[in-house]
Structure 1
Amino acid sequence: MGIIKEPLDIDFEVDNRPLTKEEEKMISDFIRLRKEQQNQKYKPKPRRAKTKKECV
């Protein structure tokens, strides 16, 4: 991830407050669901075992 250049006429302010338990749970659930979706999307295909004849 790179550094974001701040435009001259815009000031970015960050609210550095601790998350509530509800917000933590929502974020954790979202991350878990996204990981499950990505794993389902890109399942590796089973590889076929080579026989001696194919290896030679």
Structure 2
Amino acid sequence: MGYIKEPDGVDFIIKGKPLTDKQKSAISEFIKADKERLAKLAVRKTKARTANKSIAASKAGH
């Protein structure tokens, strides 16, 4: 799906159905789980960078 630019003088109005409480809850849970997943990934990347720097420093010292 791509980005659609509104032509000058034209407004696109999207009227969707309101979400049910169940749908709102499902979306919130998904967002929460995804944020946790991304946070774990960031921690892993940070640990990997730190480990790589430590290895490089120990090799440079020898």
Does 2:37 correspond to 1:37? yes
Which is richer in helix?
2
Runs of 4+ in 1 over 2 A off after TM superposition: none
Residue deviations 1:10-52, cap 9 Å, x none?
Answer: xxxx551110000000000000000000000001447xxxxxx
Number of residue equivalences: 41
Aligned Cα root-mean-square deviation (Å): 2.8
Matches within 5 A, 1:1-56: 3-4=3-4, 14=14, 16-43=16-43, 44-45=46-47
What stretches of structure 2 of length at least 5 have no aligned partner?
A: 6-13, 51-62
Percent of paired sites with the same residue = 35
Structure 2 length-normalised TM? 0.48
